[in-house]
Amino acid sequence: MRYFLLSIGFLTLFFSCKAPEARRPVSISSGSFIDESINRNKELSAREEARIQKIIQQDSSNNYITSDGGFWYYYEKKDTLATTKAKFGDIVNFNYDIKDLNGDIIYSEKELDTVNYAIDQEDLFFGLREGLKIMKEGEIVTFLFPSYQAYGYYGDNHKIGTNIPLISRVKLNKITKQSTKEN
């Protein structure tokens, strides 16, 4: 009898232990918020690009270039002889201003002052970082940036609001090479 009770207890203990089951979620998300966000951003980008294309079409005096990064620019002063462009870590000295697409000044060149910037090592909005890499010393370039290349959704928390495309005139004064390789 003792073995019988012991074996029943053992079997009860053995069959009552089972692996834990994963709990199922109470609600299931379909991802519709992400899909809606993607669609809103595509529409915003298309509207901004249409505005920029309209500016380009109305400005027949300048030859606009489309960058690989998704912004447009033209040269006011171009150096056709120099080959040196800024690379990672190089220090560039430049002046610039920022305007909205209507041409209204947000930050003047005087207000922003002369900037010394280490390429890709300091904080600067994405489009301008990329724009400085295509410039040579002494050049003056005007850039048209869609909002995702400028300050995007957050703005600059001061004068530039949410999703504002920008125009920036940049004068690259000097490139100081920091790398030992010849660029």
Three-state DSSP at 159 gives coil
Which among 90, 130, 91, 128 is positioned nearest to 112, based on CA atoms? 128
**pTM (2 d.p.):** 0.79
Per-residue pLDDT reduced to its tens digit, 136-154: 999 999 999 999 999 998 8
What value does the mean pLDDT of the chain take?
88
User: CA-based Rg of the chain, rounded to a whole angstrom?
Assistant: 29
Q: What is the pLDDT of residues 53-78, one digit of tens each?
A: 999 999 999 999 999 989 999 999 99
Domains belonging to the chain, first-starting first, are: 38-176 (3.10.50.40)
Task: Identify the three-state secondary structure at position 79.
Answer: coil
Contact 91, 179 (CB under 8 A): no
In the structure encoding, which two tokens stand for residue 148, read together?
């995702």
